[in-house]
Amino acid sequence: MDRRSVLVVGGSSGIGLEIVKGLALQGDETYVGSRTTEKLAGVEKVHHLAFDVQELPDQLQGLPDVLNALVYCPGTIRLKPFQRLTREEFLEDWQINFLGAARTIQACLPHLKKAPAGASIVLFSTVAVACGMPFHASIAGAKGAVEGLTRSLAAELAPRIRVNAIAPSLTDTPLAADLLAGDEKRKAAAERHPLKRIGSAQEIARLALFLLSDDAAWISGQILHADGGMGTLKTFK
Protein backbone atom coordinates (compact mmCIF):
# COMPACT_ATOMS: atom_id res chain seq x y z
CA MET A 1 0.00 0.00 0.00
CA ASP A 2 1.26 3.54 -0.76
CA ARG A 3 2.20 5.74 2.18
CA ARG A 4 -0.88 7.60 3.31
CA SER A 5 -1.28 10.92 5.13
CA VAL A 6 -3.65 10.64 8.06
CA LEU A 7 -4.87 13.25 10.57
CA VAL A 8 -5.85 11.91 13.99
CA VAL A 9 -7.55 14.62 16.02
CA GLY A 10 -7.21 13.53 19.65
CA GLY A 11 -4.25 11.28 18.86
CA SER A 12 -2.39 12.27 22.03
CA SER A 13 -4.19 9.93 24.47
CA GLY A 14 -6.24 6.76 24.83
CA ILE A 15 -7.74 5.21 21.70
CA GLY A 16 -6.39 7.96 19.42
CA LEU A 17 -2.84 7.43 20.66
CA GLU A 18 -3.11 3.70 19.90
CA ILE A 19 -4.37 4.54 16.41
CA VAL A 20 -1.37 6.83 15.93
CA LYS A 21 1.02 4.07 17.06
CA GLY A 22 -0.63 1.65 14.61
CA LEU A 23 -0.36 4.14 11.74
CA ALA A 24 3.31 4.75 12.57
CA LEU A 25 3.95 0.97 12.44
CA GLN A 26 2.28 0.83 9.03
CA GLY A 27 4.58 3.64 7.86
CA ASP A 28 1.80 6.19 7.34
CA GLU A 29 2.55 9.91 7.55
CA THR A 30 0.67 10.83 10.72
CA TYR A 31 -0.61 14.23 11.83
CA VAL A 32 -2.00 14.65 15.34
CA GLY A 33 -4.30 17.49 16.35
CA SER A 34 -4.58 18.03 20.11
CA ARG A 35 -3.80 20.44 22.93
CA THR A 36 -0.99 18.39 24.53
CA THR A 37 1.92 16.28 23.24
CA GLU A 38 3.56 14.54 26.26
CA LYS A 39 2.32 11.03 25.45
CA LEU A 40 3.46 11.35 21.83
CA ALA A 41 7.10 11.50 22.92
CA GLY A 42 7.72 7.81 22.17
CA VAL A 43 6.07 7.81 18.74
CA GLU A 44 8.40 8.58 15.87
CA LYS A 45 7.83 11.04 13.05
CA VAL A 46 4.47 12.44 14.11
CA HIS A 47 3.56 15.95 13.01
CA HIS A 48 1.74 17.86 15.72
CA LEU A 49 -0.89 20.52 15.07
CA ALA A 50 -1.76 22.35 18.29
CA PHE A 51 -5.41 23.32 18.55
CA ASP A 52 -8.43 23.15 20.81
CA VAL A 53 -11.48 21.73 19.03
CA GLN A 54 -13.67 24.15 20.99
CA GLU A 55 -11.95 27.04 19.21
CA LEU A 56 -11.37 25.63 15.75
CA PRO A 57 -10.34 28.07 13.02
CA ASP A 58 -11.91 27.73 9.54
CA GLN A 59 -8.58 26.48 8.19
CA LEU A 60 -6.16 24.14 9.94
CA GLN A 61 -2.56 25.25 9.50
CA GLY A 62 0.05 22.58 8.81
CA LEU A 63 -2.07 20.00 6.98
CA PRO A 64 -0.58 18.25 3.96
CA ASP A 65 -2.10 19.11 0.57
CA VAL A 66 -3.52 15.59 0.24
CA LEU A 67 -5.11 13.76 3.19
CA ASN A 68 -6.04 10.10 2.79
CA ALA A 69 -7.85 9.75 6.08
CA LEU A 70 -9.20 11.58 9.12
CA VAL A 71 -10.01 10.24 12.58
CA TYR A 72 -11.80 12.43 15.14
CA CYS A 73 -11.40 11.16 18.73
CA PRO A 74 -12.14 13.99 21.21
CA GLY A 75 -15.01 13.09 23.49
CA THR A 76 -16.48 13.51 26.95
CA ILE A 77 -18.03 11.27 29.61
CA ARG A 78 -20.31 13.47 31.67
CA LEU A 79 -22.68 11.36 33.72
CA LYS A 80 -25.19 13.45 35.60
CA PRO A 81 -28.90 13.39 36.49
CA PHE A 82 -30.81 15.12 33.69
CA GLN A 83 -32.28 17.88 35.87
CA ARG A 84 -28.82 18.91 37.10
CA LEU A 85 -27.26 19.34 33.63
CA THR A 86 -26.54 23.00 32.91
CA ARG A 87 -26.76 24.78 29.58
CA GLU A 88 -22.96 25.19 29.62
CA GLU A 89 -22.45 21.45 30.14
CA PHE A 90 -24.80 20.54 27.28
CA LEU A 91 -22.96 23.03 25.06
CA GLU A 92 -19.50 21.75 26.00
CA ASP A 93 -20.48 18.14 25.22
CA TRP A 94 -22.03 19.29 21.94
CA GLN A 95 -18.96 21.33 20.95
CA ILE A 96 -16.38 18.67 21.71
CA ASN A 97 -18.28 15.64 20.40
CA PHE A 98 -20.35 16.96 17.49
CA LEU A 99 -19.40 20.48 16.40
CA GLY A 100 -15.66 19.82 16.67
CA ALA A 101 -16.06 16.76 14.44
CA ALA A 102 -18.24 18.59 11.89
CA ARG A 103 -15.94 21.63 11.72
CA THR A 104 -12.80 19.48 11.50
CA ILE A 105 -14.30 17.59 8.57
CA GLN A 106 -15.21 20.89 6.87
CA ALA A 107 -11.63 22.11 7.28
CA CYS A 108 -10.19 18.81 5.99
CA LEU A 109 -12.54 18.18 3.07
CA PRO A 110 -10.53 20.05 0.42
CA HIS A 111 -7.52 17.89 1.37
CA LEU A 112 -9.49 14.63 1.59
CA LYS A 113 -11.05 15.26 -1.84
CA LYS A 114 -7.56 15.27 -3.37
CA ALA A 115 -6.78 11.69 -2.27
CA PRO A 116 -6.40 9.82 -5.59
CA ALA A 117 -8.02 6.57 -4.44
CA GLY A 118 -10.64 8.18 -2.19
CA ALA A 119 -10.50 8.85 1.53
CA SER A 120 -11.86 7.51 4.81
CA ILE A 121 -13.24 9.29 7.89
CA VAL A 122 -13.72 7.59 11.28
CA LEU A 123 -15.75 9.21 14.09
CA PHE A 124 -16.56 8.06 17.63
CA SER A 125 -19.97 7.51 19.20
CA THR A 126 -20.85 5.57 22.37
CA VAL A 127 -22.85 2.48 23.36
CA ALA A 128 -25.16 4.89 25.23
CA VAL A 129 -26.82 5.96 21.95
CA ALA A 130 -28.11 2.49 21.01
CA CYS A 131 -28.89 1.54 24.60
CA GLY A 132 -30.61 3.93 27.02
CA MET A 133 -28.61 4.45 30.19
CA PRO A 134 -29.42 6.72 33.15
CA PHE A 135 -27.40 9.96 33.51
CA HIS A 136 -26.19 9.84 29.87
CA ALA A 137 -28.64 12.44 28.44
CA SER A 138 -26.05 15.04 27.41
CA ILE A 139 -23.40 12.72 26.00
CA ALA A 140 -25.95 10.40 24.35
CA GLY A 141 -27.58 13.44 22.70
CA ALA A 142 -24.27 14.75 21.34
CA LYS A 143 -23.10 11.30 20.17
CA GLY A 144 -26.52 10.59 18.64
CA ALA A 145 -25.85 13.65 16.49
CA VAL A 146 -22.45 12.19 15.57
CA GLU A 147 -24.20 9.04 14.34
CA GLY A 148 -26.57 11.17 12.24
CA LEU A 149 -23.59 13.09 10.88
CA THR A 150 -21.87 9.81 10.01
CA ARG A 151 -24.76 8.56 7.90
CA SER A 152 -25.54 11.94 6.29
CA LEU A 153 -21.95 12.56 5.26
CA ALA A 154 -21.46 8.96 4.11
CA ALA A 155 -24.32 9.58 1.66
CA GLU A 156 -23.24 13.09 0.66
CA LEU A 157 -19.57 12.22 0.13
CA ALA A 158 -20.04 8.82 -1.57
CA PRO A 159 -18.43 7.29 -3.53
CA ARG A 160 -15.11 9.08 -2.99
CA ILE A 161 -15.08 9.40 0.80
CA ARG A 162 -16.21 6.71 3.24
CA VAL A 163 -17.54 7.78 6.65
CA ASN A 164 -18.01 5.39 9.57
CA ALA A 165 -18.20 5.59 13.36
CA ILE A 166 -17.22 3.30 16.21
CA ALA A 167 -19.48 3.10 19.27
CA PRO A 168 -17.48 1.66 22.17
CA SER A 169 -18.63 0.76 25.64
CA LEU A 170 -16.41 1.42 28.66
CA THR A 171 -12.78 1.31 27.50
CA ASP A 172 -9.64 1.55 29.61
CA THR A 173 -8.37 5.05 28.77
CA PRO A 174 -7.66 8.27 30.70
CA LEU A 175 -11.16 9.50 29.76
CA ALA A 176 -12.70 6.62 31.71
CA ALA A 177 -10.25 6.78 34.63
CA ASP A 178 -12.84 7.96 37.20
CA LEU A 179 -15.25 5.17 36.27
CA LEU A 180 -12.45 2.59 36.61
CA ALA A 181 -10.75 3.90 39.75
CA GLY A 182 -10.07 0.86 41.97
CA ASP A 183 -10.49 -2.89 41.67
CA GLU A 184 -14.12 -2.87 42.80
CA LYS A 185 -15.27 -0.43 40.14
CA ARG A 186 -13.28 -2.31 37.46
CA LYS A 187 -14.78 -5.64 38.46
CA ALA A 188 -18.33 -4.25 38.54
CA ALA A 189 -17.84 -2.61 35.13
CA ALA A 190 -16.53 -5.85 33.61
CA GLU A 191 -19.41 -7.82 35.15
CA ARG A 192 -22.04 -5.52 33.55
CA HIS A 193 -20.86 -6.53 30.06
CA PRO A 194 -22.16 -9.73 28.44
CA LEU A 195 -18.54 -10.53 27.47
CA LYS A 196 -17.47 -9.90 31.10
CA ARG A 197 -14.73 -7.37 30.58
CA ILE A 198 -14.18 -3.76 29.60
CA GLY A 199 -12.56 -2.75 26.31
CA SER A 200 -8.92 -1.90 25.67
CA ALA A 201 -7.73 1.12 23.72
CA GLN A 202 -5.70 -1.18 21.48
CA GLU A 203 -8.67 -3.28 20.35
CA ILE A 204 -10.78 -0.22 19.56
CA ALA A 205 -7.81 1.28 17.70
CA ARG A 206 -7.47 -1.90 15.60
CA LEU A 207 -11.10 -1.50 14.51
CA ALA A 208 -10.40 2.10 13.49
CA LEU A 209 -7.28 0.99 11.55
CA PHE A 210 -9.45 -1.59 9.76
CA LEU A 211 -12.03 1.09 8.81
CA LEU A 212 -9.22 3.26 7.46
CA SER A 213 -7.77 0.42 5.38
CA ASP A 214 -8.60 -0.86 1.90
CA ASP A 215 -10.05 -3.97 3.56
CA ALA A 216 -13.02 -1.77 4.52
CA ALA A 217 -13.37 -0.29 1.01
CA TRP A 218 -17.02 -1.41 0.75
CA ILE A 219 -18.08 -0.15 4.19
CA SER A 220 -19.59 3.32 4.64
CA GLY A 221 -22.31 4.90 6.77
CA GLN A 222 -21.93 2.25 9.48
CA ILE A 223 -21.83 2.52 13.26
CA LEU A 224 -19.65 -0.34 14.50
CA HIS A 225 -20.53 -1.44 18.01
CA ALA A 226 -17.40 -2.53 19.87
CA ASP A 227 -18.99 -2.89 23.27
CA GLY A 228 -18.61 -6.37 24.76
CA GLY A 229 -22.22 -7.04 23.79
CA MET A 230 -23.50 -4.23 26.03
CA GLY A 231 -25.64 -2.47 23.41
CA THR A 232 -27.54 -5.46 22.05
CA LEU A 233 -27.32 -8.58 24.22
CA LYS A 234 -29.23 -9.82 27.26
CA THR A 235 -27.44 -12.83 28.70
CA PHE A 236 -29.86 -13.92 31.45
CA LYS A 237 -30.81 -17.58 31.01
Ligand X SMILES: NC(=O)c1ccc[n+]([C@@H]2O[C@H](COP(=O)([O-])OP(=O)(O)OC[C@H]3O[C@@H](n4cnc5c(N)ncnc54)[C@H](OP(=O)(O)O)[C@@H]3O)[C@@H](O)[C@H]2O)c1
Positions touching ligand X (CB under 6 A) are 10-16, 34-36, 52-54, 73-75, 96, 124, 126, 168, 170-171, 173-176
Give 199's strand partners.
171
The SS3 assignment for 171 reads strand
Task: Give the CA angle between residues 6, 208, 1 to the nearest 5°.
Answer: 55
Q: What is the CA radius of gyration of the chain?
A: 17
- For ligand X, the closer of residues 52 and 214 by Cβ is 52
Residue 94 DSSP symbol: I
- For ligand X, the closer of residues 24 and 66 by Cβ is 24
Minimal distance in Å, beta carbon 91 to ligand X? Answer: 13
Pairing type for strands 161-168 and 119-124 reads: parallel
Minimal distance in Å, beta carbon 117 to ligand X? Answer: 27
Minimal distance in Å, beta carbon 168 to ligand X? Answer: 4
- For ligand X, the closer of residues 122 and 154 by Cβ is 122
**Closest residue to ligand X, Cβ-based?**
75
Alpha-carbon distance of 27 to 118, in angstroms, equals 19
Count the neighbouring beta carbons within 10 Å of the beta carbon of residue 55: 8
- For ligand X, the closer of residues 129 and 154 by Cβ is 129
- For ligand X, the closer of residues 157 and 167 by Cβ is 167
Minimal distance in Å, beta carbon 36 to ligand X? Answer: 3
Nearest of 100, 114, 97 to residue 5 by alpha carbon = 114
Alpha-carbon distance of 196 to 55, in angstroms, equals 39
Minimal distance in Å, beta carbon 158 to ligand X? Answer: 24
